[in-house]
Structure formats: C-alpha cells, structure tokens
C-alpha cells in the first residue's frame, strides 16, 4: 500500500514536528488535538517552525506555502478514518495510548497502519489493544523533528513485513535516515541515552562536578551539541523522569532508576526549557546554571 494520507494524533512538540515534516514531504496530513486551544497552539508551533526553515534558507516560501495547504487540523478522531497511516504522539502513558489505539482500530479501515512515537513504552502493548497487531509499528522521531535525521522504525514479533516496509519507506520519504529496532523499552537510542542522562544527575548528586562543568565535559570533550544536563532541560525533565520510571519498571535494573534529585526537581515543577527553569534558567539570552 502506498501511503499518501497521514494522520497525526497530538500536536505538541513531537506531533507538530512530525506533521510538519510529513506535509513538507508532500503527504496529505490531518492533525488531531483534543481542544480548539491546543489546535491553535499546535498550528502556531508548526507555522513558526516553517517560517524558521524559510529564514534559515532550508525551505523556499513557495514550498512553505504548499506544505501549509497540505495540513488540516481537527478535534475529532473520526476525521482520521480515511488515513493510510496514523502516528500517535500523545502523552507517554500506557493507558492513554492503549485506549487511543483501540479507538483508532475501530475508526480506521483495515489497511491503515497505526504507529506510535513512544520513546519508552513497548509497541507490543499498543498492538495488543487492537484487532490488527500485525499493522502496528513504532516510528520514533527525535527533537527537533525538522532537524534531527533519525527515525527508529520498530517492529514487534507480529508486525507484518508489508506494514514494516511501508513504515520504513515512509520514514525515507520524509528525508529521514531510518534504523530498524526490535520492540523493547527504549529501542536503540534511549537504551543508551537514558542511563547516560541519569548518571550525569548522579554525578551532580555526588558533588563530582558542577552543572556547567558536567555539560562542558561532554560538549568540549566529546563534541556533543549539548551536555547531558542541558539535554535534560531540552527534552523536558518531567519527560526524562517519566521515561526512566517506565524503563525501570520494565527492566528492574538500577541504571534506569530515577535519581532522587531528578524527583525533587520534577516536584518543584522545574521541567526545563519549556517552563523556563530546570538545571538552568532559560529566561535570558544564555542559559544560567541554577543552584541545586
């Protein structure tokens, strides 16, 4: 089946990026959010990103305008019923995702491929909530979606070759570089990244180095674009916490357990860049490390 019509459920940071790259790659896209206010916020986020791509000379004005016409927004899941592929990018909560997959399974035609952008839950859980587990895959994108080239394409033990190959080809048509991963919590990237981020927080807890110096070590020593603590702020400290809880629950290995300091920062509502404060204060031109 040739994928032409794409649905995206959730228009937050990830959903908006996925919708944007799909529209830029000539797909007909419908994005669903739960309220008019969230539709507006998502629409604005996509528009700002498209404008930024034009300013950075990554996209012509004509291509931006064409992509914009390929995007439609809705608050009704039933509007996604004619889609060839639906990608879920809602909250990282297994109950919410399973309910969504069960509803999409009822609404969509039997050929529709259902995909999740989950970063730590297993695709198998969502597949089992549907009557088409062979047509459920993982399509895990990286933030910022228009910039990061990788997509992890994930198959379970029952994913059909046909559905998997269609999803893989879709990622390529977006201009991304896909990798193949078997279904497991964390796939390839987060299985490596999450213990690394948590170990950076443990270093801080043990007083080994300051926030600034831990990040400087990894940017200047290894050439990473961001150090691990700045990356936590970028991903969202609440998200890092949620992912580590899910991975710890799955593997029961201490390397995935959230360090107490991470819990304290989340309890204070310091979720990183999106709330203005995390390990850093992001209100000025340059991030300033906060005392912890």
Which tokens is 77 given? 């899941």
Query: Binding residues for ligand CAA, how many (CB under 6 A)?
Result: 17
Site stretch for ligand CAA (CB under 6 A), options 48-56, 63-71, 255-263, 274-282: 48-56
Question: Among this protein's residues, is 84 annotated catalytic?
Answer: no
* 58 in contact with ligand CAA (CB under 6 A): yes
Q: Where in 155-174 is the site for ligand CAA (CB under 6 A)?
A: none
* 56 in contact with ligand CAA (CB under 6 A): yes
* Residue nearer to ligand CAA on the CB measure, 66 or 226: 226
* 54 in contact with ligand CAA (CB under 6 A): no
* Residue nearer to ligand CAA on the CB measure, 79 or 250: 250
**Which of 30, 53, 123, 139 is in the footprint of ligand CAA by CB under 6 A?**
53
Q: Where in 182-201 is the site for ligand CAA (CB under 6 A)?
A: 190
* 231 in contact with ligand CAA (CB under 6 A): yes
CB of 1 to ligand CAA, least distance (A): 28
Q: How many residues belong to the chain?
A: 292
Site stretch for ligand CAA (CB under 6 A), options 175-183, 202-210, 223-231, 268-276: 223-231
| Best CA proximity match to 109, nearest among 133, 85, 77, 139 | 85
Q: Sign of torsion, CA 96 99 103 108?
A: positive
Calculated CA dihedral for residues 52, 233, 245, 242, nearest 10 degrees: -50
The answer to whether the CB of 201 falls within 8 A of the CB of 261 is yes
Q: Which of 152, 166, 184, 244 is catalytic?
A: 152
* 220 in contact with ligand CAA (CB under 6 A): no
Q: Where are the beta strands (DSSP E) in 135-198?
A: 136-141, 150-155, 177-182
Q: Write the binding mask 118 to 157 for ligand CAA: x where contact by CB under 6 A, - elsewhere.
A: -x----------------------xxx-xxx---------
Cα(260)–Cα(270) distance, rounded to whole angstroms? 14
* Residue nearer to ligand CAA on the CB measure, 23 or 77: 23
CB of 109 to ligand CAA, least distance (A): 30
Q: Where in 59-118 is the site for ligand CAA (CB under 6 A)?
A: none
261, with CB counted inside 10 A (0-12, 13-18, 19+), is middle
Q: By three-state DSSP, how is residue 154 classified?
A: strand
β partners of residue 189 = none
| Best CA proximity match to 136, nearest among 152, 160, 118 | 160
* Residue nearer to ligand CAA on the CB measure, 105 or 233: 233
| Best CA proximity match to 204, nearest among 233, 182, 183 | 233
Q: By three-state DSSP, how is residue 113 classified?
A: strand
Question: Among this protein's residues, is 166 annotated catalytic?
Answer: no
* Residue nearer to ligand CAA on the CB measure, 108 or 174: 174
Q: Which residue in this structure is represented by tokens 């909530």?
A: 129
Question: Among this protein's residues, is 152 annotated catalytic?
Answer: yes
DSSP symbol at 112:
-
Find the farthest-apart pair of alpha carbons in the chain and give their distance in angstroms, rounded.
56
Q: Which residues bind ligand CAA (CB under 6 A)?
A: 49, 52-53, 56, 58, 119, 142-144, 146-148, 190, 225-226, 231, 235
Q: Which sequence positions are flagged as catalytic? A: 119, 140, 152, 190
């Amino acid at each position: 089946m040739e994928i032409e019509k794409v649905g995206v459920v959730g228009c937050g940071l990830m959903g908006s990026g996925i919708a944007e790259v799909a529209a830029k790659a000539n797909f007909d896209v419908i994005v669903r959010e739960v309220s008019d206010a969230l539709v507006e916020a998502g629409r604005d986020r996509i528009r700002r990103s498209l404008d930024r791509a034009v300013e950075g000379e990554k996209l012509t004005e004509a291509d931006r305008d064409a992509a914009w016409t390929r995007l439609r927004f809705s608050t009704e899941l039933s509007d996604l019923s004619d889609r060839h592929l639906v990608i879920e990018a809602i909250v990282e909560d297994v109950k919410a995702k399973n309910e969504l997959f069960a509803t999409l399974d009822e609404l969509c035609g039997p050929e529709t491929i259902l995909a999740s952008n989950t970063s730590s839950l297993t695709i198998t859980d969502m597949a089992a909530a549907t009557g088409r587990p062979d047509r459920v895959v993982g399509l895990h994108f990286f933030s910022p979606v228009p910039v990061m080239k990788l997509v992890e394409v994930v198959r379970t033990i029952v994913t059909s070759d046909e559905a998997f190959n269609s999803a893989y080809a879709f990622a390529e048509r977006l201009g991304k570089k896909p990798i193949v991963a078997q279904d497991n919590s964390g796939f390839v990237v987060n299985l490596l990244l999450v213990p690394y981020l948590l170990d950076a927080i443990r270093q801080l807890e043990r007083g080994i180095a300051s926030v600034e110096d831990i990040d400087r070590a990894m940017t200047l020593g290894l050439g990473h674009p961001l150090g691990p603590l700045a990356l936590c702020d970028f991903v969202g400290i609440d998200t890092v916490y949620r992912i580590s809880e899910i991975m710890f629950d799955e593997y029961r290995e201490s390397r995935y357990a959230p360090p107490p300091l991470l819990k304290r920062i989340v309890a204070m509502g310091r979720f990183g860049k999106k709330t203005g404060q995390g390990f850093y204060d992001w209100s000025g031109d340059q991030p300033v490390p906060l005392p912890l």
